[in-house]
Amino acid sequence: MRWRFMGMVMVITALVLVVQTVPLAQYLRTVELDRLVTGLERDAFVLAGRAEEALESLDAAELAVVEDAALEYRAAGGGRVVITSIDGTALVTSDDDESALGADYSSRPEIAEALAGTISSGSRYSTTLQQQLVYVAVPVLSGDEILGAVRLTYDESVVDVEVGQRLRVIGIVALLTLLMAGIAGIVFSGTVTRRLTVLTATTERLAGGDLTARADPTSGAPELVRLARSFNRMADRLSGLIDEQRAFAADASHQLRTPLTALRLKLERARDLIGSDPDGAAERLAAAELEADRLVTIVEGLLALGRAGASITAGTDVDLSAIARERVEQWEPLAAESGVALTVDGPSNVAVRAVPTGVDQMLDNIIDNALAVSREGDSIRVVIADGERPTLTVLDEGPGMTDDELARAFDRFWRGGTTTPGTGLGLAIVAELARASGADVALTRREPRGLAATITFDPAEGKERLSTATYPKRPLT
């Protein structure tokens, strides 16, 4: 009985540890690879900035300075460096073999993409070096002109080494946990049975999806208390990993709800008009296609946001006025159904700097929140103001917030005391998109009631470079 009980305890503990360790190993490798690629992208842009003047003039002295920087970067363990001209000829390398200078790199896919103006990253097998490489290639820009490309490569095996070191530590912890379980089974076989039954039930709850399941670490033999604490630490780590996945899924579902609803309405109305008004049906189908295109763009933006996180920076110039009017036009039918007047005021051609689809998503979230708290007869105003830093302000006549609520309004999943349905992600997404765009967002109370949500943007670098990603006017449905 004692040995059988000990074996059962160790088997259950091992299964729990395997359930934890297998997904954790993959997660650790993904995190390490993303961290390496992010670091290489940052370093590549730094080297591209240093190489800009040298590639413009092709001066030997300036190229020598860039080559010294590349060699210093390689010596510091930063990876292999190749800097090419616009035709793909290697002008600077960090290789000891100087024969690489002057070689044609234009056939490399990542170099070709960088010379076309696209940032390229990933991993591939190098037949020259006989190893798997992580690479990043970025264009060297002077204004809108592409002067060349910078490619950084790194041996992918360093990721496996780093993950292996961490997994060895986790393996030691797992072995110690198994050893503790075995000792507890031998010494306390009589009293452990009941506690083991409870722990087994907790494990089944966790495996069944109850991430709040925790063992009781306050009673039982000391060995069982330690086992329960080890289980709880494992459950905490596992639930943390799942929470990260759910957070991204919640962000995605929250952002996709509005365009999906609009797409469904357009398709339903097109179906109703097929027999009586084919032209009207075709018009609504065309609008549905545009909404589907916007849906794809939002999905791509969410994926980029989830992958790059804090490294996302403002990427394009957009027409704030056109986007605000287009989004208000799309929200007007829903506002009218609720008896709320939705208007937009301000000058035209106000250009700002923002991430692609960022202004659209921020405005959609704020208007959605404002409509949720507005009463019949209320009004919502979207006000655009030009200036040194253009602003977009949404004024509502809802119940407003207290000082404590305003302080926590942008926290993820926080919804205050409101009974309005929602996930508590809207303003958190607004804050993240504002940060990624280099903008500031703030909520202030209005008198006698309501809130003013203000987003302050950096001005565009040039109106002639306004993004073409803004959405064309669509017929109202």
For 347-402, the DSSP string reads -S--EEEE-TTHHHHHHHHHHHHHHHHPPTT-EEEEEEE-SSS-EEEEE--S----
Coil/strand/helix, residue 212? coil
Is residue 151 a contact partner of residue 105, using CB atoms and an 8 Å limit?
yes
Determine if the pTM surpasses 0.85.
no
φ and ψ at 131, to 5 degrees?
Answer: -155, 160
The kind and range of the H/E element at 178 are helix 157-187
- Enumerate residues 6+ apart whose C-beta is below 8 A from 417: 405
Q: Is 315 exposed, middle or buried (CB count within 10 Å of its CB: 0-12, 13-18, 19+)?
A: middle
Coil/strand/helix, residue 85? strand
pLDDT computed for residue 383 by the predictor: 95
- What's the gap between Cα 13 and its chain centre? 35
Matching residue, tokens 């009980």: 5
For the chain, give percent helix, strand, coil, nearest 5. 55, 15, 25
pLDDT digits (tens, 9 = 90+) for 159-207: 677 767 777 777 787 777 777 777 766 666 666 567 777 888 888 888 8
pLDDT computed for residue 181 by the predictor: 73
Taking 70 as the pLDDT cut, the residues of the chain under it are 1-6, 9, 20, 96-99, 128-129, 159, 163, 184-193, 241, 244-252, 254-255, 297-298, 300-315, 412-425, 462-477
pLDDT digits (tens, 9 = 90+) for 300-311: 655 644 543 444
Long-range contacts at 304-311 (CB < 8 A, ≥ 24 apart): 305/251, 305/432, 305/433, 305/436, 306/248, 306/251, 306/252, 307/34, 308/38, 311/38, 311/41, 311/42
Is residue 351 a contact partner of residue 379, using CB atoms and an 8 Å limit?
no
pLDDT computed for residue 98 by the predictor: 52
Helical axes 222-273 vs 426-436, angle rounded to 10°: 90
- Enumerate residues 6+ apart whose C-beta is below 8 A from 125: 131, 132, 133
- What is the C-alpha to C-alpha distance for residues 85 and 64, in angstroms, rounded to an integer? 15
CA dihedral 256, 257, 263, 268 (to 10 degrees): 160
Q: Phi-psi region for residue 420, left (φ > 0), alpha (ψ -120 to 50) or beta?
A: beta
